[in-house]
Amino acid sequence: MKALSKVALLGLVAGLFVTATGCGEEGLPSGKSPEDVIKAALLNQGEITKSVFEMNMTADLKGEVDGEQNSLKGTFSISGTQDEEKMSMKMNVDGSMNKDSAKGDIELRVNKDGVFALVSGVKVSDEATQGLIDTMLKDYMGEWVMLSFVKPAEVLESGQMTQMDYSEGDDLPFTNIQYKGTADMLGVKSYHFTADIDEEMLLGMVEAADMADTQAFLDAATMTGDVYVAVNEMVLTGFSGTMKLTDPEMNGNVEISYKLNPTKSDDVKTPDYKKTLTEEDIAMLMFGGAVTDPTATDYTEFDDAAMMDYDLEGLEGVEGMEGFESMDTTTLE
């Protein structure tokens, strides 16, 4: 009887183990290699019309530049949902560069009612910069604001998180691809692969950087990670990897994680907002980078050098700008 109990117990444990892990061993479509599956997913990425997404990045870097030691540590995260009619996005940054640090949160919502933003918790270590931020945003910090100068359609088009610049015949940004079974990615059953990543091609595909400015950075980088493709939808549902940098001016690790559910989009409700930000408000906040000409329909951008030649008489009568029309701009030289 005891022997039977042991056999039954072992069988039960084995059954549970198979149940828990067996779904991770599902085979690829008949006749398809890992390269075929990933290529099809990249080509299908442009067909996604809705999604829920998450992206996280953690950096821990240090190096020596011109005899001085430098360090960069921080995290950046972004999550949200989007379809053709609405979008919401939450962003958080918390990091430090040498002795300087910065952190803050931004939430954006876009729907048929407009574009809305919430900025909160912005803190920087530099007192002068913090004072400027507090002064400029004191009437808007921590409150939902409607951005009247932005059209929802423009944000929805530019904010697409699923697009990839990949065409038939292009080389894959992955090598040494190995199939590892299946996994859950934000509720979507997905094929799981490990691979070495072509950093330059991958960053170029997602338009994450100006490649001319980052060539040295990429030459010093190696990257390995995981790639996920939806079993049913055959689109990319995730990526995670570690980029190792060995350049003396910047060495350490950057951890990247991206998850996507292409089968749904969450609701985006209009927030309870009490303030509206206009182009004129932006010009007033950013004086020194732009001013509003009350006779024009838009604002003019300029730098300090151009400001010396700018006719400030047009500011006469603009609320809050009294006195600037007679300001001597030669003092800016």
pLDDT value at position 200?
A: 63
Q: Are residues 158 and 212 in the same domain?
A: yes
pLDDT value at position 183?
A: 97
Structural domain contains residue 19: no
pLDDT value at position 161?
A: 67
Tokens 């408000």, residue located: 281
pLDDT value at position 11?
A: 42
Nearest to 85 by CA among 267, 278, 295: 267
Nearest to 70 by CA among 250, 253, 252: 250
Structural domain contains residue 5: no
Q: Are residues 57 and 91 in the same domain?
A: yes
Structural domain contains residue 8: no
Structural domain contains residue 201: yes
Q: Are residues 61 and 131 in the same domain?
A: yes
pLDDT value at position 250?
A: 81
Residues 6+ apart with CB under 8 A from 314: 293, 294, 295, 325
pLDDT value at position 146?
A: 96
Given 249, 277, 305, which residue is the final one in a domain?
A: 277
pLDDT value at position 280?
A: 86
pLDDT value at position 218?
A: 62
pLDDT value at position 291?
A: 40
> Which one-letter amino acid corresponds to residue 77?
S
Q: Are residues 259 and 297 in the same domain?
A: no
Q: Which domain holds residue 297?
A: 278-333
pLDDT value at position 290?
A: 39
| CATH number for the domain that contains residue 185 | 2.50.20
d(C-alpha 40, C-alpha 28), whole Å: 13
DSSP letter string over 97-146? Answer: ETTEEEEEEEEEEEETTEEEEEEEEEEES-HHHHHHHHHHHTTTTTS-EE
pLDDT value at position 217?
A: 60
> Which one-letter amino acid corresponds to residue 32?
K
Q: Are residues 167 and 44 in the same domain?
A: yes
Ordered per-residue pLDDT tens for the chain, 333 residues: 444 344 444 443 333 333 333 344 568 999 999 999 999 999 999 899 999 999 999 999 998 888 888 898 999 999 999 999 999 999 999 999 888 999 999 999 999 999 999 999 999 999 998 988 888 888 889 999 999 988 999 888 876 667 677 889 888 988 999 999 999 999 999 999 999 987 665 555 454 444 444 566 666 678 899 999 999 999 999 989 988 888 888 889 989 899 999 999 999 999 999 999 888 888 877 664 434 444 444 434 434 443 334 344 444 444 444 444 444 444 444
d(C-alpha 130, C-alpha 49), whole Å: 40
- Please state the domain count of the chain: 2
Structural domain contains residue 20: no
Task: State pTM to two decimals.
Answer: 0.72
- Token couple for 267: 């609701």
Given 277, 302, 320, which residue is the final one in a domain?
A: 277
